[in-house]
Chain A
């Protein structure tokens, strides 16, 4: 086989392999430019040892919700940064799912120290549910310090995941279901004066 034909054949074989490196879900659901930009962020995350699936899911979420390409790229880049900070907080041993949950916690305003403390109390056990519950409590309006203390208390006692979930449900019930005053009476309205005849 002449050398030229051999090279051409090799190139033909390599093209599909290069194409396969680009996530097909991105190219199917996003426009070409947006898919390429997102793929660059995904590749960067892969090289840094960060989870890539959350980045792809973020882009797909943007596509389904009808976001523009610029917003999708900005959101994916922001998540890339959050995942990096999450790994700084939890270290290289954290799983992809834990890093994803931790990124959400940092985005909600929780300090990295809270995640590190939680990790030290849950040695050898998954952190996903405790971190997710902690994030959700803060999003519900519970002050971060109080939410952290409650979740750390459960972790310190070695409670299972379903007790973290139960804590979240309880807070949701109390903060939503109990929002109204008994008998719809506004708070602090003074007691009325005695009855009078017309």
Chain B
């Protein structure tokens, strides 16, 4: 079997084996603010940002558009789509193939395009943490030239308290083709021959972005923050950051605010900018409260699940790959800790009598603190610890 056939079969199996219901989420942000590009005129700006995300089993599609209108008719548009497919988990390993296309259009100026595709390997050791490595190849078109690019990345994410943290490092290499050569002022390109005016010079630009980002919620406020640094011998080193906050003011409406410093894109030569914007977010196509016509089944790989009753007992399975001991306590055990037994590759299992209804419980891994099982919503107990409440059907 060829590798391509194997991949297709694997993806087909993944699609068939995952019964999760399709999910469609969309937003439309409309706002105004200030915009200070690195190499253009600063000023006020109005933005419209529609975005859509569709997820069905292992497949995820997303699309976003950003239209900005500045005084004197100076408008810019950026659009992007991405598609990804994930394989089933193979132990702690999961693979993802993805493709991405981005393009820009500008007032009286030719736009840019970029296509890229690649693979990403995820390692999920458990407890909600994961790490990944990825490699992508693609091509960008800008300023009348095509530029092959490749990107290598690695990263890790984990939940620390109420904050979801993510750290990533991405190294991008792009070949730039210049019609009018000039000596590199910093002398760090791979070309070593003197260049004559009018000749075509191909130079290789490399840069590395290291970014730490976090996402958390305080009461009804959702925050996203990122802070990073661009390292490059070719372009000036830049600190890049962003902070956004949103607060629901109605079932489908939220106030959003965003500020930050975006880095320039060396692949398309789009300049960086500082920005601040305030606006409204309309949730469209995301009927959050619409009931599903059918029950969404829990998958066999759910981090925590309670199975159907069999002979007056139910199977409880918790995914905790690196654990040496997992205990469960709840109102169905009189809050006496019950030791779970290893089950499968990274699961832990117990058979307990649990009646239908609302139950309160917590788990403890390796004798640590009591906390909510993975995949459940943590509730702060009156006693200071963390528990969960689950509905058993």
Q: Which residues in A have some Cβ–Cβ distance to B below 8 Å?
A: 25, 29, 54, 57, 60-67, 71-72, 74-75, 78, 97, 100-101, 104, 128-129, 131-133, 135-136, 139-143, 146-147, 149-150, 153-154, 159, 161-163, 165-175, 177-198
Compute how far the CA of A172 lies from the CA of B20 in the bound complex, rounded to whole angstroms: 13
> What 10 A-B pairs have minimum CB-CB distances, sorted nearest first?
A182-B62, A67-B383, A195-B269, A194-B109, A60-B335, A191-B76, A188-B277, A194-B106, A150-B289, A190-B68
A-B CB contacts (within 8 Å), total count? 253
A and B contact pairs by CB, cutoff 8 A, 22 listed = A61-B387, A66-B385, A136-B389, A142-B289, A143-B248, A161-B393, A165-B391, A165-B393, A170-B296, A171-B288, A174-B288, A181-B64, A182-B52, A185-B51, A186-B242, A189-B47, A190-B47, A190-B273, A192-B104, A192-B272, A195-B104, A196-B271
In the bound complex, do residue A182 and residue B251 qualify as a contact, i.e. CB atoms below 8 Å apart? Answer: no
Name 10 extra pairs, CB < 8 A, besides A101-B358, A190-B33: A62-B382, A67-B384, A139-B379, A169-B292, A171-B289, A181-B51, A188-B31, A190-B35, A195-B269, A197-B269
Q: Which residues in B have some Cβ–Cβ distance to A below 8 Å?
A: 21, 23, 25, 27, 29, 31, 33, 35, 37, 39-40, 45, 47, 49, 51-53, 55, 62-64, 66-68, 76-78, 80, 82, 100, 104, 106, 109-112, 142-143, 213, 215, 217, 220, 222, 224, 226, 242, 244, 246, 248, 250-251, 256-258, 260, 262, 265, 268-273, 275, 277-279, 281, 286, 288-292, 294-296, 329, 331, 334-337, 356-358, 360, 362, 370, 377, 379, 381-385, 387, 389, 391, 393
| List of A residues within 8 angstroms of B334 by Cβ | 25, 57, 60
In the bound complex, do residue A141 and residue B143 qualify as a contact, i.e. CB atoms below 8 Å apart? Answer: no
| List of B residues within 8 angstroms of A139 by Cβ | 377, 379
Q: Which of A133, A166, A183 contacts B80 (CB 8 A)?
A: A183
Q: Which of B76, B248, B277 contacts A194 (CB 8 A)?
A: B76
* CB proximity of A39 to chain B, nearest CB, Å: 16
Q: Which of B265, B337, B383, B391 contacts A129 (CB 8 A)?
A: B391
Compute how far the CA of A34 lies from the CA of B32 in the bound complex, rounded to whole angstroms: 59
| List of A residues within 8 angstroms of B279 by Cβ | 188
Q: Who on chain B is nearest to A62 by CB? A: B383
In the bound complex, do residue A163 and residue B291 qualify as a contact, i.e. CB atoms below 8 Å apart? Answer: yes
Q: Given A65-B383, A189-B242, A192-B76, A170–B292 Cβ distance below 8 Å?
A: yes
| List of B residues within 8 angstroms of A132 by Cβ | 357-358, 389, 391
In the bound complex, do residue A64 and residue B382 qualify as a contact, i.e. CB atoms below 8 Å apart? Answer: no
| List of B residues within 8 angstroms of A131 by Cβ | 358
| List of B residues within 8 angstroms of A128 by Cβ | 356-358, 391
Compute how far the CA of A180 lies from the CA of B166 in the bound complex, rounded to whole angstroms: 12
Centre residue among B25, B260, B357, B370 by max chain A CB count within 10 A: B357
In the bound complex, do residue A143 and residue B251 qualify as a contact, i.e. CB atoms below 8 Å apart? Answer: yes
Q: Given A60-B334, A67-B383, A195-B143, A183–B62 Cβ distance below 8 Å?
A: yes
